Amino acid sequence: MRGSLPIEHNALTAEQTAALSRYRARWAAIRRSTAPADRSAAEEGVRLAYCAAGLSPPARFVWCESPLALSRLAREASFVDGGNVKSALIERPRRKVAAAIRRRLHRRVRQNVESTVNPADALVASVTEAVLQATERDDVTLLDYLRRRSQPPSLSFAVRTLLGWRGLHYNSAGPDDLSWLGTCEYLRNVLGLRDETAPLLGLWQIAINLGWLQPHEKTCWLAERPALLRGDAQDLLHNPSGPALRFRDGWSLWAWKGVEVPRWIIERPERITLGAIDIESNVQVRRCMIEIMTPDRFVKLGGATRIAQDETGILWRKIWLSYDVWAAVEVINATPEPDGTHKHFFLQVPPNFRTAREAVAWTYGLSAKAYSNLVVRT
Q: What is the DSSP letter of 193?
A: -
**CB atoms closer than 10 angstroms to residue 151:** 6
pLDDT beneath 50, residues of the chain:
1-5, 140-151, 153-166
Q: What 3-state class would DSSP assign to 77?
A: coil
pLDDT (0 to 100) of residue 158: 45
| pLDDT score of 148 | 45
* Residue 196: CB atoms within 10 Å: 24
The count of C-alpha atoms lying within 13 angstroms of the C-alpha of 115, restricted to the half-sphere facing its C-beta, is 6
Q: How far apart are CA 73 and CA 315, in angstroms?
A: 52
Cβ–Cβ contacts within 10 Å for residue 220, how many?
Answer: 27
Helix (H, G, I), strand (E, B) or coil at 56: coil
Give the C-alpha separation, 303 to 79, whole Å. Answer: 58
* Residue among 208, 225, 217 at smallest CA distance from 41: 208
Query: What are the pLDDT digits (tens) for 196-222?
Result: 999 999 999 999 999 999 999 999 999
What end-to-end distance do the CA atoms of the chain give, in Å? 69
Burial 272-310 (b: 16+ CB within 10 A, else e): bebeebeebeeeebbbbbbbbbebeebbeeebbeebbee
| Alpha-carbon span 103 to 2, nearest angstrom | 10
Burial 84-112 (b: 16+ CB within 10 A, else e): bbbebbbebbbeebeebbeebbeeebbeb
Beta partners for 314? Answer: 309, 330
Q: How many CB atoms lie within 10 A of CB 256?
A: 23
**Amino acid letter, 239:** N
What kind and span of H or E run contains 345?
strand 344-348
pLDDT for 87 equals: 94
Rounded CA-CA distance 344/316 in Å is 13
Judge whether 349 and 355 are in contact, CB under 8 Å: no
Task: Give the separation between CA 312 and CA 298, rounded to whole angstroms.
Answer: 21
DSSP letter (8 states) at residue 90: I
Which pLDDT belongs to residue 161? 44
So where are the chain's domains?
2-225, 228-303, 304-378
CB atoms within 10 A of CB 165: 15
Determine the pLDDT at residue 169.
58
Cα 7 from Cα 187, distance rounded (Å): 14
Q: Are 350 and 362 in contact (CB under 8 A)?
A: yes
CB 259 within 8 A of CB 232: no
CB atoms inside a 10 Å sphere around CB 317:
17
Q: Where are the beta strands (DSSP E) in 124-233?
A: 212-215, 219-223, 228-229
